[in-house]
């Protein structure tokens, strides 16, 4: 299967969008993750029509002109993770939910930690808005590990009030 990709210069650095024949497969926000993915997939081709459309939509998002994405996604994961990711996609632009609320949204209120792990495993950040999930106390806990400044920036783009 041939993978295509395109790059976008976001306010916090380059974003790489990767697609397969089914849809957008991955979004790489960090250089070290991109380099690892590229090493594992040396046969990728630069650009693909779908990647270009994803870049266009990202640009609209970062410029305040888009609130929802209209792209086919090629999602891989366990049934549980797919449930969590579907719940994330239902969180409206400019709103946040806690990990506990996400667990409740999927009908499994005791699965707070597992919902957090699914959030962390999201391979389609921004398109599947894991940045809209915060700690129960309102704190910006975790985003791709320790990258909470990016989470904060994404929420600010969406007009969310962020606790200081």
6: which strand partners? 17
| CA distance linking residue 134 with residue 41, whole number of Å | 33
Surface-to-core class of residue 18, CB atoms within 10 Å of its CB (0-12 exposed, 13-18 middle, 19+ buried):
buried
17: which strand partners? 6, 27
| CA distance linking residue 60 with residue 107, whole number of Å | 34
Q: Residues with catalytic annotation?
A: 130
| Residue 128 DSSP one-character state | B
| CA distance linking residue 19 with residue 2, whole number of Å | 9
Going through 11-164 in order, the beta strands assigned E by DSSP cover 13-19, 24-28, 45-46, 97-98, 133-134
């Amino acid at each position: 299967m041939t993978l295509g990709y395109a790059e976008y210069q976001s306010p916090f650095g380059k974003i790489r969008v990767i697609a397969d024949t089914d849809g957008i497969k991955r979004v790489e926000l960090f250089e070290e993750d991109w380099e690892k993915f590229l090493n594992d997939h040396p046969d990728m081709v630069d650009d693909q029509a779908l990647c270009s459309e994803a870049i266009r939509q990202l640009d609209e998002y970062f410029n305040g002109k888009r609130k929802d994405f209209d792209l086919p996604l090629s999602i891989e994961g366990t049934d549980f993770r797919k449930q969590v990711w579907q719940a994330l996609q239902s969180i409206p632009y400019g709103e946040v939910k806690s990990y506990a609320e996400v667990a409740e949204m999927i009908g499994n209120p005791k699965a707070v930690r597992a919902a957090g792990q699914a959030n962390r495993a999201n391979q389609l950040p921004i398109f599947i808005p894991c940045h809209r999930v915060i700690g129960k106390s309102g704190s910006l806990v975790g985003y791709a590990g320790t990258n909470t400044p990016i989470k904060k920036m994404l929420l600010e783009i969406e007009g969310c009030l962020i606790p200081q």
